[in-house]
Structure 1
Amino acid sequence: MSRILQIVGRRAAFTQAGLQNVPVWRPLGGRNGRGAASSAAATEQTTVQDGAARPFDEIPGPRGLPFIGTALDYSPFGRFPIHTKMANSTIERYQTYGKIYREKIGLRDMVFVCDPKDIETVFRSDGRLPERPIPESIATYRRLKNKPLGVALLNGEEWFRLRRSVNKDMMRPKAVGAYATMQDEVSRELVGLIQGVVRKGKTAGQVPDFTKLLYKWGLESLSLVVLGKRLGCLTLDQLPEDSDAQRMIGAVNDFFYSFAKLQMSFPLFRYIRTPGWTTFERAMDTVSSITEKMIGERLEKLRQMEEPPDEADFLTSLLSREDMNLDEAIQMSVDLLQGAIDTTAHTLVFNLYCLAKNPDAQQKLYEEILEVVPPEQPIDDRVLNKMHYLRAVVKETFRMYPTLLSTARTLTRDVVLSGYHVPAKTNVMLAQNVISTLPEYYPEPESYIPERWLRTESSNVQSFSLLPFGYGPRMCIGRRFAEQELYLGLVRIIQNFHVGWDGEDMKQVWRIFNAPDRDTFVFSERKS
């Protein structure tokens, strides 16, 4: 009997409802390979010479109040309300204090850097076990519920063990590319839904609640990858409010809004059950219960098999790993499905908006699609690899409308940043949203120019100036899946529609990841 079936078979029989009645996942077996293996490559060490740098305490920055620091600036009545003007804070702080500043928000003392050379120094100093600040709210929730922290919330050897294991499935281009044709099916179905609305002619080419439709697209696309099944999300009809898909989409939105508030405020939830914590906990409960139910149904099917399936989905592949137990495989799948709903959908909205506002760039992308992708041809990873302008479009959109404002690291050694000694264990925020606005790194920074990312003699983008998924061993683990899904959705929409825009310019709303405040696109079918 295969390892997969052995693992699944060691659990009690699942009901059709899956895991709803199982309060806690119990670890199965040992954890083989913990702490094993050496670093894949030595990283460049950055040392601090005595007297060569200014002291840490001299780093400039805003003065805060005792206990709360500058947290009031991010309150609804402050200078930078977190949902509407969060991005303004790093830009204004840069204009006031320069390329490095220090700020204490609540209990979190952070150094912000706005220089690609400093960002490179931070990443090069990571070493074998890069660290990042752990969101206390999520970690507290998972400990209370007796769930694994998951690879994103771990540091040290435990992080290394899990990350090394899942890298085999998530960071190798060929492994991710194997799912491209399945994800393409979902994107083609999305196009069919848009066509249905446009052809009715009742909305002047607009798709009501377009972003919400993309949430369904994101969940449907990744559930096909993770669970090997369709959920039936892609429908223009309103999903029943009590359906698993609709409840999960709503819960993920509630999660990010409440998570943002908890992250930027004093952690009162340590001591009392605050309204923000109640909303956060309810959202996390809903997401966990629904995804665990879906996973349980998949495991029940595996349990009934005498042999493993010929084509393994992502969950089945995780279960085959000797260095990952069942709980950890399930938590990884939960995290992927939760992340599938809105971050990729919002990034697709930002790309469509940039193309709608820059028709010349949209036409160039359309011409590349015509050349590489015949209308009825399925798209696989080899086709996507031929589309250089597509990648340039996505990079330029990340520059102008970043999904994530900054990347966080906890220094594992002392470094010098902008001439200041910054000690190990300092939390550093890499504010690339500031760098993206500076003409010294991007000529004409207010203009949308995908060509700056093409490999030509005239292109000269500085290294480490744009890293939307991070860099190095701790790069975003879902990067390749997210990029592939984004490319497929963008290609299929531009292949079939000219995308325009109606009304006021779009603005971004911050909730850890950025979201659009409107989606007034106008879709016009292209003539074949």
Structure 2
Amino acid sequence: MNSSRPGLSALCRGLIPLSTRTLAQETTGAAKLKTIEDLPGPTLSTTLFWLFAKGYKDKSHLLQGVQKNLYGPIWRSKFGPFDLVNVASPELIAQVIRQEGRYPVRAELPHWKEYRELRGQAYGLHVDKGQEWYRMRSALNPKLLRLQEVSAYAPIIHQVVEDFLQRIEFLRIRSPDQATVPDVAAELYKFGFEAISSILFETRLGCLQEDIPEDTERFIAAVNDMLTLSETVVVFPRWMRSAFPFWERFVQAWDDLYNIAQTLIDKRLCDIHTRMERGEPTDGLYLTYLLSCDKLTQSEIYICVTELLLGGVDTTSNTLSWALYHLARDQRVQDRLYSEVNAVCANRRKPDTDDLRGMPYLKAVIKETLRLYPVVPGNGRFTAESEVIVDNYRFPKKTQFHLCHYVVSRDRTQFTRADDFLPERWLRTHAFQHHPYSFIPFGVGVRGCVGRRVAEMEMYFALSRLVQQYEVRPGEDSAPIEAKTRTLLIPARPINLRFLPRT
């Protein structure tokens, strides 16, 4: 993949250290710095007009571009309890990230914290801050971010991929034309759920079976309900909860989610104890490591594993859905990908982690998909530790920044033919340069995605084996499919694809 460096001008526009920037600004006079009150931005009525009258409620990712064109690369927006500083250029994103401190915070989640306190649970990675957050993150990292450790999960992932291929074949044969698989994204969601659960809980949940176990269905529903309701709950103040059922449903979804996760973890813990009493080896992978490392309390393991599950499903399922959608519509790209996979793994041999090193185009397809469809169209940074200076503005503690990844990753000054699906742009032989902060789908620094390596392995194995088995073509309705925002960037309607067996 391209490892291009920014030119000198890019460094001057935002990558110089904070200490240097602050010294320069103090030399010219700190009084020249503006405040958050000086930022341009829409009024509440304008925001409501865009969201509801202009139809951007489901397309807030596109609203990033509208507002950037009106107000420039940094602006302020208010809606309900949210008071955001939006940043929509790679140079300014770099300035925010480089001042995030040792213990960065993405965003405050008061409704998650309230639930934890209601049930007497540990806070977990998304709620805890400072040294406690860092301690938990340090315990979770080694078995998820080191490539050598992650390679141990390859056999498990291949088992899940095998079941997914059987599921695709079953659905294909059952369809009227014996080719079409309806709503591929829904099937890939089951794949993603089964894959990450197999690693985190060290057990198969049966997501890809024809008859999904009742507890597994409840588990999947709880994840969907909690994430959907989380958007709504955080907007309404506490005093309005009696008028709407959102809070009760949110609590019930978290209860279901937590209780099932706790049951699965306790089952594994009981199995470990039984084996130890018998003098048998306690072989295991991620969960066994967490339960035996003494770095986390049992309560912290319950919540941390649950949160890892929440972040580990959609990255895989959404990215693969969009990748297959584009492969079906671009025969040239699909043929090139198949040729590469077949050259490295002839006769449909399963690729291993070493084989992936010889598949740069496979990685480029995934990377280009993430550029066009970042899993979340925006990320956050909450200045919990100190004030920061971005551009010519000084922001106090407790400022919430919204990093507009969607509009930045489609910036025409950074990417040629920015709206086109061109995996070649990521190959070393393709001469192109972009600012390193114009494309950060997994985040950066200590707040970067802890499950990145696992997600990438799942996507590489699943996509390579799918193109080994099938030629993918659009379904009967081949009209373009747009994205919509539901916290995540998802297809606005089902993606139906035809899977034609390769001879």
Q: TM-score when scaled to structure 2?
A: 0.88
Letter in 1 for 2:64: T
1:389 and 2:361 aligned: yes
* 3-state SS of 1:277 partner: helix
C-alpha deviation, 1:457, in angstroms: 5.5
Matched with 2:247 is: 277
Selected match of 1:352 from 321, 324, 329: 324
Whether the 8 Å contact between 1:215 and 1:249 is mirrored in structure 2 is no
C-alpha deviation, 1:209, in angstroms: 4.2
- Write the distance in 1 (CA, Å) between the matches of 2:239 and 2:349: 53
Matched with 1:192 is: 166
Whether the 8 Å contact between 2:74 and 2:88 is mirrored in structure 1 is yes
1:247-262 aligned at under 5 Å gives the runs 247-262=218-233
C-alpha deviation, 1:117, in angstroms: 0.8
Matched with 1:514 is: 489
C-alpha deviation, 1:461, in angstroms: 2.2
Matched with 1:149 is: 123
Q: Which moved more, 1:463-472 or 1:88-97?
A: 88-97
**More helix, by proportion:** 2
C-alpha deviation, 1:94, in angstroms: 0.7
- The change in CA–CA distance for 1:336 and 1:55 in structure 2 (over 3 A counts) is closer
Letter in 2 for 1:133: A
Matched with 2:398 is: 425
Encode CA deviations 1:333-369: one digit per residue, 9 max, x unaligned.
2222344444421221011112122221111111111
Matched with 2:6 is: none
1:318 and 2:293 aligned: no
1:442-521 aligned at under 5 Å gives the runs 442-456=415-429, 458-502=431-475, 503=477, 504-516=479-491, 517-521=493-497
Unaligned runs of 5+ in 2: 1-15
- Write the distance in 2 (CA, Å) between the matches of 1:379 and 1:269: 55
Matched with 2:39 is: 59
- Write the distance in 1 (CA, Å) between the matches of 2:396 and 2:334: 46
Matched with 1:526 is: 502
1:125 and 2:99 aligned: yes
1:360-399 aligned at under 5 Å gives the runs 360-399=332-371
- Write the distance in 2 (CA, Å) between the matches of 1:74 and 1:294: 45
Letter in 2 for 1:525: P
- Write the distance in 2 (CA, Å) between the matches of 1:269 and 1:453: 51
1:80-159 aligned at under 5 Å gives the runs 80-82=55-57, 84-159=58-133
- The change in CA–CA distance for 1:374 and 1:116 in structure 2 (over 3 A counts) is same
Whether the 8 Å contact between 2:348 and 2:469 is mirrored in structure 1 is no
Whether the 8 Å contact between 1:436 and 1:465 is mirrored in structure 2 is yes
Matched with 2:262 is: 292
Q: Which moved more, 1:110-119 or 1:479-488?
A: 479-488
Encode CA deviations 1:314-348: one digit per residue, 9 max, x unaligned.
11101222321111112222222344444421221
* 3-state SS of 1:464 partner: helix
C-alpha deviation, 1:78, in angstroms: 4.5
- The change in CA–CA distance for 1:127 and 1:340 in structure 2 (over 3 A counts) is closer
- The change in CA–CA distance for 1:390 and 1:113 in structure 2 (over 3 A counts) is same
Letter in 1 for 2:414: Y
* 3-state SS of 1:500 partner: strand
Whether the 8 Å contact between 1:223 and 1:231 is mirrored in structure 2 is yes
Unaligned runs of 5+ in 1: 1-42
* 3-state SS of 2:346 partner: coil
1:5-16 aligned at under 5 Å gives the runs none
Whether the 8 Å contact between 1:227 and 1:313 is mirrored in structure 2 is no
- The change in CA–CA distance for 1:98 and 1:203 in structure 2 (over 3 A counts) is same
Encode CA deviations 1:106-142: one digit per residue, 9 max, x unaligned.
1221101111011111111123221221222222212
Letter in 2 for 1:298: R
- Write the distance in 2 (CA, Å) between the matches of 1:433 and 1:121: 18
Whether the 8 Å contact between 2:171 and 2:181 is mirrored in structure 1 is yes
C-alpha deviation, 1:100, in angstroms: 0.5
- Write the distance in 1 (CA, Å) between the matches of 2:36 and 2:189: 44
- Write the distance in 2 (CA, Å) between the matches of 1:74 and 1:256: 24
- Write the distance in 1 (CA, Å) between the matches of 2:239 and 2:173: 51
- Write the distance in 2 (CA, Å) between the matches of 1:73 and 1:277: 27
Matched with 1:32 is: none
Pairwise CA RMSD of aligned residues? 2.3
Whether the 8 Å contact between 1:80 and 1:89 is mirrored in structure 2 is no
Letter in 2 for 1:369: V
Q: TM-score when scaled to structure 1?
A: 0.84
C-alpha deviation, 1:279, in angstroms: 2.5
Whether the 8 Å contact between 1:372 and 1:387 is mirrored in structure 2 is yes
- Write the distance in 2 (CA, Å) between the matches of 1:332 and 1:373: 37
Whether the 8 Å contact between 2:185 and 2:495 is mirrored in structure 1 is yes
How many corresponding residue pairs?
475
